[in-house]
Amino acid sequence: MHQDTAADLPATARGAVAIIANRCGDLLLHLRDDLPGIAWPNHWSVLGGGCDPGEDPAATIVRELAEEAGLAVDVLAELFEIRDEQGSGLLITFFSASWDGDETELPLAEGVKLQFLAPEDLDFLTIPPFIRDGIDRYLATRPS
């Protein structure tokens, strides 16, 4: 995501992430690099990142999906916003999308790996609190 600390960012600093599900209901998670200076190193997250100056969250998520994983989805639905209080400080817009491809075939440009995981398997992963909150909110409203 972003490398600045919350204290360095204006209150309007924004980012965007996408919760991507396949037809089985599994979610596409991204194991982040374990590097100093990045937000949430070595955590499982969803794809996304910070908005460039003048860029809105919808444009950001399309750019980030392409940059990080060579991924383009047909429809992105805007869900809600959550601030990453304990990490980047960014106000993050969450989007959802469906994609049924093979995640192992994606050209991963950042992070360690991408993996579809069943929602019940997420409890065992180290996930940033704001991402876990967003996933929980998404799952609570998703049709069963």
Rounded Cα distance between 9 and 26, Å, is: 34
Report yes or no on whether pTM surpasses 0.75: yes
Handedness of CA 59, 32, 119, 22 (dihedral sign): positive
The helix/strand count (H/E) of the chain reads as 2, 7
6-141, what's its fold? Nucleoside Triphosphate Pyrophosphohydrolase (3.90.79)
pLDDT tens digits, one per residue of 56-109: 999 999 999 999 999 999 899 999 999 999 998 999 999 999 999 999 999 999
Given a contact cutoff of 8 angstroms between Cβ atoms, the answer to whether 89 and 13 are in contact is: yes
